[in-house]
Structure 1
Amino acid sequence: MIHEVDGLLRKLLQGGALTGSDIDIVFDAPTGEWAARRNAPVLDCYLYDIREDVKRRERGMAPVRDERGITVSRRRAPRWFRLSYLLTAWAKRPEDEHRLLSAALATLMPQEVLPPSGLPEPLAGLGLSVPLTVAGVQAESRSLAEIWSALGGMLKPSIDLVITVPFPSYPDYDAGPPVTGGALVRVRELDGPLEDDGRTHQPRHLTRVAEGARLR
């Protein structure tokens, strides 16, 4: 699923203010060695953190229906995960890097909620919208300064980008066969003697038609 999110992010950044540009979108760790090899402008989306959004966790099973609306299986609710990217621009001059970051902001800010129709499979098949947070308050325990230190590079202007995506919970569980007709249910009602006039009622049979399995 993560590689589908990478592809989605690349598609988003290649549109908007960056439409028609020849800027490369890569997902490399921006280490000092990597930066020294760059000879063309690039936007780097480094995935630095993956963790579950436990506030979105749901219990229970949901029905999976076919094209006729019949339940064919049952599925656990998906688990949501926060994918945090460090978005940086690399060019020969800081001014050019700032222009790239501005273009990235202008492109991503209108995309706060991504509808299912704009998502790749299998995300689109879940029928759920995906939230995207651009330059929000950092919720992870590690600071950006710590991340740069771990990468062995100098602190650089960056955009913290978080995409919260649902991951399907497997496996699906088969549902029982659908009910296709009525069944005959026999109910025996026994009445004892009544105290008010001394009469008694004989056993009698009641016949009813109900939807469901045949009861004996």
Structure 2
Amino acid sequence: MLHEVDEALRELVTSRALNGSDVRLVFEAPTREWAARRNTPTINAYLYDVREDVKRRETGVARVYAEGGRVAAYRRPPRYYRLSYLVTAWTKQPEDEHRLLSAVLGCLLRHETLPETMLPTGGILATAGMPVPVTAALPPADPRSITELWSALGGELKPSLDVVVLAPFPVTPDLPAGPPVTELEVELHDGEPTVSEVRRRSLT
């Protein structure tokens, strides 16, 4: 699922923010060593945190129906995960970096969710058929986290966008349903009917 979000973000940013320019988009950690090797204008989207959004966790199951309306399985609701990206621009001039960040921010603000057409075909996200919300530059829960992140990376603090994608992750496999009850055998004891056995037979 993580790589699918990467691909969707790459497609969205390169096609609708960078507009086919020679600016690269990478997902590497922006360490001091990485910055020294860079020699072309670059947007870096570093995935620095993955955690479940427990407020969205649901209980229970949904029925999965087979042909004829028979319950074939039970499906548990998906778990939602917050994927946090540190998005930075790297060029020779600060003004150019600011222009790139503005272009990326404007692109993301126009899309409350990742476009369905940009989700990898046949992947988890496309198959789930659920929206994938994306936010940019919202106030972080802990303002110190970004500073501490830069310290951990060993780099110098740069202007950045905190981009968060809320991605559903299906809980698999489905729970199979037993064959339906089609007959009930009743025995009489002292004149009172009691259920002694339930015979289960498939309808097919």
TM-score normalised by L of structure 2: 0.81
Unaligned residue ranges in structure 2 (runs of 5+): 189-199
Instruction: Tell me if structure 1 keeps the 8 A contact 2:8–2:114.
Output: no
**Distance 1:156-1:141 versus aligned 2 partners, 3 A rule:** closer
Match in the other structure for 1:90: 90
Shift of 1:164: 0.7
Match in the other structure for 1:58: 58
Identical counterparts, % of pairs = 58
**Distance 1:67-1:99 versus aligned 2 partners, 3 A rule:** farther
Match in the other structure for 1:105: 105
Instruction: Tell me if structure 1 keeps the 8 A contact 2:124–2:169.
Output: no
**Distance 1:144-1:124 versus aligned 2 partners, 3 A rule:** same
How many residue pairs match? The answer is 189
Say which structure is richer in helix: 2
**Distance 1:67-1:95 versus aligned 2 partners, 3 A rule:** farther
Q: Which one has a bigger Cα radius of gyration?
A: 1
2: distance between equivalents of 1:57 and 1:80? 7
TM-score normalised by L of structure 1: 0.77
Secondary structure at 1:84's aligned position in 2? strand
Shift of 1:122: 1.2
Q: What letter matches 2:133 in structure 1?
A: P
Secondary structure at 1:170's aligned position in 2? coil
Q: What letter matches 1:126 in structure 2?
A: A
Instruction: Tell me if structure 2 keeps the 8 A contact 1:24–1:43.
Output: yes
Match in the other structure for 2:124: 122
**Distance 1:118-1:134 versus aligned 2 partners, 3 A rule:** same
Deviates more, 1:83-92 or 1:122-131: 122-131
Match in the other structure for 1:174: 176
- What does 1:19-98 align with in structure 2 at a 5 Å threshold? 19-66=19-66, 70-98=70-98
Unaligned residue ranges in structure 1 (runs of 5+): 189-212
Shift of 1:139: 2.7
Deviations 1:51-77 (A, max 9, x none): 110100000111234577654221211
Shift of 1:15: 1.8
Shift of 1:167: 1.1
**Distance 1:118-1:39 versus aligned 2 partners, 3 A rule:** closer
CA-based RMSD: 2.7
Secondary structure at 2:49's aligned position in 1? strand
Q: What letter matches 2:5 in structure 1?
A: V
Of 147, 152, 155, 1:153 maps to 155
Secondary structure at 1:20's aligned position in 2? coil
Deviates more, 1:17-26 or 1:133-142: 133-142
Q: What letter matches 2:138 in structure 1?
A: G
**Distance 1:88-1:62 versus aligned 2 partners, 3 A rule:** same
Deviations 1:64-104 (A, max 9, x none): 34577654221211111100000000011111111111111
2: distance between equivalents of 1:40 and 1:92? 9
Secondary structure at 2:22's aligned position in 1? coil
